[in-house]
Amino acid sequence: MTRPPLIFISPSVEKKGDEFGDLSVSLSETYQQALTDAGGLPLALPALPSREWIAASVRCCDGVLLTGGDDVDPRIYGRKLPPGLQRTVTLTPDGGARDWRELVLIDEVFRQRKPLLAICRGLQILNVALGGTLLADIASQRPGAINHRRLDQRSEIVHEVLLTPESLLSKITGGHSLGVNSTHHQAVARVAGPLRVAATSRDGIIEGLELKPGAARMLPFLLGVQFHPERLVKRHREHRAIFAAFVQACARNGKFDL
């Protein structure tokens, strides 16, 4: 029996876990369930600050999923924020270790050419890793934007995004627009050089990224989304299709059917 594709998930970190109140790994079961339902074998990536262990983990897996969580430290993308804007930022409780770990992880994913799906914070750290920047707080920096932080309806469709024609996301979901949930207060500002916009909300906030056609040789599969499709898979086939395409790419070393 052939095993399902092994997909490492980069977890969040909790300041005080169940056992002895230690700094602990945190991972929503919704990511794991969405991957399992699509035929993948999910496993939490060790939260170890070691390039050697990260490289070894990437060698062992068939694909990587970057998850949501706390904000990316603005100092990583060269932003010294004014005090009022800085107060809107919630950094990871591990003193920036998650930021460093995921930057190394992304570097290894590209070096070893493994399929990558990046969700919410995952899309943001991916953009930063490749040279892009972020809006530290949408409400402060884009006052005309809709409310993107709908935590009260985290598993519900709250607005539409427009999909770039012929984009990977458009081909996977089979449409020109997509209903999404929305639980973020940061967003992509300057898009990293190798990436292009795959989706935007009607107020202009970037909701999806993928490799430019000329950069597609860098990875067999790459898709980043600002929303949380893992919370919508039970009721919306378009969001199931995102995980199905990713798992298929992991199973076939990047080859998948659209």
- Which residues are part of the catalytic machinery? 120, 228, 230
Structure tokens at 33: 């369930």
Q: 3-state SS string over 111-165? A: HHCCCEEEECHHHHHHHHHCCCCEECCHHHHCCCCCCCECHHHCCCCCEEEEECC
Can you tell me the distance from the alpha carbon of 99 to that of 8, in angstroms, rounded to the nearest whole number? Answer: 17
Q: Are 213 and 205 in contact (CB under 8 A)?
A: no
Helices (H) and strands (E) in the chain, counts: 8, 13
Can you tell me the distance from the alpha carbon of 32 to that of 243, in angstroms, rounded to the nearest whole number? Answer: 11
Identify the three-state secondary structure at position 73. Answer: coil
Write phi, then psi, for 169 (nearest 5 degrees): -65, -40
